[in-house]
Amino acid sequence: MSKRPTPIQRSAETGPGPASRTLAAFIFASRWLQAPLYLGLIVAQAVYVVLFFVELWHLIENVISTGHISETDVMLSVLALIDIVMIANLLIMVIIGGYETFVSKIRVEGHHDEPEWLSHVNTNLLKVKLAVSIISISSIHLLKTFIEVGRMDEGVVRNADGSVLYSTEGVMWEVGIHLAFIVSALALAWIDRMNQHHAAAPQGGLSAGRIEAGLRGDGGAEAVAQAADRAVDDGDFVTVRVPAGTQLPPGFEVVSSDR
């Protein structure tokens, strides 16, 4: 004779227990460990500000001391300044976007200086913008290299002390790395676009916004009526408020507010 199995006892309590909630709160609060990292990036940006003015002073000093400076030297100095600015922009994007995404909301809605991209920032968008910024910085370095290549002799460019500054092989590596950055940025942008395509809501469904647009004449009242007929056949109902006296398409019903 077989022994009757003991029934499984299930707890009547719902939701996580105190220990689980405490652990979850602790894990969620651990995101603040990233805050010192962003503060460190702010310090790094301050260093770049100092470096920018040092480079600018060197440019002014060369012009004053020599009384004449070649266009190539001016262009290289300006490209160095632009390079610093681009890196500073990259730092700002990482600091603000990373803090907003991974730590806490900055809450600057409605501020006249709010960045346009901050309102819809996410990890994919941040990756794409960072990749574009890296390409811009790489382009500045590559342009400086192309300017120096103009005085290449026997496949190398030497400094005043005779050391090799650029070589044919080094330039080719720089071009290859720059192309790799471009391919990576295109891949990230394609992935972001695919994510947006899959997350987009179906266009043919019935919604309050679609009904209101159709009643205003923006979306086509006939198309809205057809969508409403399909929704009613499926047992779905959507309630919208429209101004009194609005001409309703067939299939719509006016109900009282207490119904």
Token pair belonging to 48? 């770049």
Residue 56's pLDDT is 92
Q: How many CA atoms lie within 13 A of 180 on its CB side?
A: 6
Q: What is the pTM of this model?
A: 0.59
d(CA 212, CA 214) in angstroms, rounded, equals: 5
pLDDT at residue 49 tops 90: yes
For the stretch 172-199, pLDDT in tens is: 888 898 999 899 888 888 887 887 766 6
- Average of per-residue pLDDT values in the chain: 75
What's the rounded mean pLDDT across residues 98-109? 83
For the stretch 240-257, pLDDT in tens is: 565 566 666 666 666 665
Residue 231's pLDDT is 47
Token pair belonging to 158? 């030497």
Residue 233's pLDDT is 47
Query: Is there a contact between 97 and 104 (Cβ–Cβ < 8 Å)?
Result: no
The angle subtended at Cα 193 by Cα 190 and Cα 198, nearest 5°, is 125
What's the DSSP call for residue 202?
P
Residue 241's pLDDT is 60
Residue 2's pLDDT is 47
Alpha helix ranges (H) inside 150-201: 168-199
Which range has highest mean pLDDT (91-95, 148-152, 224-228)?
91-95
